[in-house]
Amino acid sequence: MSDNQAFDHSVDLLIVGSGAGAMSAAIRAKDLGADVLLIEKTDLYGGSSAMSGGSLWIPCNHLMKQDGVVADTPEEALEYLKNITEGQVPEVKLRKYIDEAPKMLSYLHENARLNMFSMPAYADYYAETPGGKPGARACEPHRFDGRLLGDDFYKMREPAVQELIMGRMSMTATEARTVLTGGPGWIGLSLKIGLQYYLDIVGRFKGHRDRSCALGNALIGQLRLSIIDRNIPLWLESPFEEFILEGDRVVGAVVNKQGKRMRIESKRGVLLAAGGFESNDEMRKEYLPNPTKAEWTCANPGNTGEVIQKGHDLGARLGFMDGAWWGPVTVVPGEERARMLVVEKGLPRSMMVNSKGERFLNETAPYDDICKDAYRVNSPDATSVPCWFVFDATFHKKYPAGPYYPGMPISKAHLRDGYIKKADSVRELAELMGVDADGLEKTVEKMNAYARDGKDPEFGRGETTYGRYYGDATAEPNPCLGPIDTAPYYAIEIYPGDLGTRGGLDVDENARVLKEDGSTIEGLYAVGNCSAAVMGPTYPGAGGTIGPAMTFGFVVAENLFGES
């Protein structure tokens, strides 16, 4: 903290961060006449938003009606959120989100470059819960032409490697479902994506990046172009260092702009939109369930939690610090970030087991729940952190598994270093894994029986709308069940990873940062993963992270600069 003295630069609103929440706030504030500055601590903009699936979970969105899909009402959305957040989030915040999210989406569609479509087949993660929907609340960005950004495109953070075909070619979430589950036409679609990539001759001379952007890169590309349209400055390599106070009010921040320490005045306040603490090992060990490691995250390596710590030092209350946007991950040797198993975990001819060789969860549950379950049942006698993803030769031929696409030869290096285990029998595989061989054999026998019946009486695999989404429609009678009976057999070690942490500075329904006594810290706002999650301990559906970040960034701008 620093007392107010002379300033080196002055703006109406200083925004710390450069992800979707930060950009949404900047666009609306600028349109309302504000002088805005975005600062980003790394040399790349976009944060975890750029690495994400790019979806937004927006109940009652205008795209539903436009696309002629399932209807929705605010009452149903509130019922759903109240049910899944279990009373841990004030109703006023849930109502605020439901009211403002559709407005944000419509505004950025009509007045900026945002261009999305609803996903009618992508269900809420708990669609069977009262108020849940079988699809269309999740919206996905249309592909974005990165060439519109010129050289600035190469300053955008790259997609997560798991989102790319062969580590290079972008695919939308809709395309990924077809390609990765071996759906009808997946070979032709893969060839089309590859042809589009290689026909960008200029792009191939410039490097490996696919300029036909999808997912998070498409979302950030659309928002970045909207920022450029408005001449909103974005400073890279400019980390936030400390708050500047006038009495108890935040009036600016000290920023290290490419090595030069600058005092920035922010006349109406400072908005923190700088991500969580997932890449900070010390904070993970202090707040998250253990064991945990920063190498298990799929998120932005720049997210190390400084703004959360600085806000807490200022007297801010913290919330949901023991949670993350969880997902089972594999840590591939030599890769910078972990890969999350979103698609493969529920496909036929596979299962997840503990050190006893036994299943302990429903593999088709939302990825957030997979890790919660793993921590909940983890014990020295039956270790589920880490656990194992087991599959057979037919699975390997038809479906993806971590870094391996269908039928892709197994790396000899991965066999030598033990990243992947391979054996001609289930018992031999168990020995390589270091798990109970009798237990694994019995579990395989059970799974094969379940596959014949199409029912999983233990955990209900493949029985929910969301659970079946990434199944194989050609597998009958259950798209998520198939016998594990074809040698050789394989196993990959799985960890409870994340897309980011969900805990941070507690805020009210207007994203104002709260003190321990519930009063506000004047001039300080927070959205996204550096704030306590609006969705509390749960994950409503695809885009349940970025949707709230963008919405409450929009709300901050409206409240600060809109007509009173």
The secondary structure of 451-486 as a DSSP string is HHHT--TTT-TT-SHHHHHTS-TTSSS-TT-----S
**Is residue 78, in this structure, part of any structural domain at all?**
no
479, HSE (Cβ side, Cα atoms, 13 Å): 18
Nearest to 372 by CA among 358, 362, 357, 382: 362
Residue 246: strand, helix, or coil: strand
Find the domain containing 446 and state its range.
Answer: 327-498
Please give the backbone phi and psi of residue 82, each rounded to the nearest 5 degrees, phi first.
Answer: -65, -40
**Is residue 466, in this structure, part of any structural domain at all?**
yes
Nearest to 12 by CA among 282, 290, 276, 233: 233
Rounded Cα distance, 133 and 215, in Å: 22
The helix or strand, by DSSP H or E, that contains position 450, with its residue range, turns out to be helix 437-453
pLDDT at 139: 96
Query: What would you report as the CA-atom Rg of the chain, rounded to the nearest whole angstrom?
Result: 23
Nearest to 7 by CA among 261, 262, 238, 246: 262
pLDDT at 88: 97
**Is residue 309, in this structure, part of any structural domain at all?**
no
pLDDT at 175: 85
- Measured CA distances, 254 to 25, 37, 241, 260 (Å): 21, 13, 5, 10
**Is residue 204, in this structure, part of any structural domain at all?**
no
pLDDT at 3: 52
**Is residue 428, in this structure, part of any structural domain at all?**
yes
By the 8 A CB rule, do 332 and 435 touch?
no
Nearest to 554 by CA among 13, 119, 9: 13
pTM for the predicted model, two decimal places: 0.95
Rounded Cα distance, 286 and 290, in Å: 9
Residues in a beta bridge with 390: 351, 491
Rounded Cα distance, 535 and 62, in Å: 22
Q: What is the DSSP letter of 399?
A: S
Rounded Cα distance, 442 and 202, in Å: 55
pLDDT at 448: 97
| Amino acid letter for position 451 | A
| Positions of the chain with pLDDT lower than 70, given as ranges | 1-5, 564
By the 8 A CB rule, do 295 and 495 touch?
no
Nearest to 53 by CA among 188, 292, 213, 181: 213
For tokens 């321990």, name the residue: 516
| Amino acid letter for position 390 | V
Please give the backbone phi and psi of residue 524, each rounded to the nearest 5 degrees, phi first.
Answer: -125, 130
The DSSP-derived string for 525-546 is EE-GGGB--TTTT---STTTTH
Give Cβ neighbours of residue 170 (< 8 Å, ≥ 6 apart): 143, 159, 163, 164, 193, 210, 212, 213, 214, 215, 217, 218
By the 8 A CB rule, do 222 and 143 touch?
no
pLDDT at 4: 47
Task: Report the CATH number at residue 453.
Answer: 3.90.700.10
Bond into 291 cis (ω within 30): yes
Tokens representing residue 296 in the block: 């298990």
By the 8 A CB rule, do 326 and 496 touch?
yes
Tell me whether residue 349 is exposed, middle or buried, using C-beta atoms within 10 angstroms of its C-beta: 0 to 12, 13 to 18, 19 or more: buried
Nearest to 43 by CA among 202, 152, 119: 152
Q: How many domains does the structure of the chain reveal?
A: 1
**Is residue 532, in this structure, part of any structural domain at all?**
no
By the 8 A CB rule, do 443 and 450 touch?
no
pLDDT at 54: 96
What are the residue ranges of helices labelled H in 288-423? Answer: 306-313, 367-377, 393-398, 412-416
Residues in a beta bridge with 497: 327
**Is residue 236, in this structure, part of any structural domain at all?**
no
By the 8 A CB rule, do 269 and 252 touch?
no
Rounded Cα distance, 202 and 206, in Å: 6
**Is residue 131, in this structure, part of any structural domain at all?**
no
| Amino acid letter for position 86 | E
Nearest to 304 by CA among 43, 47, 2: 47
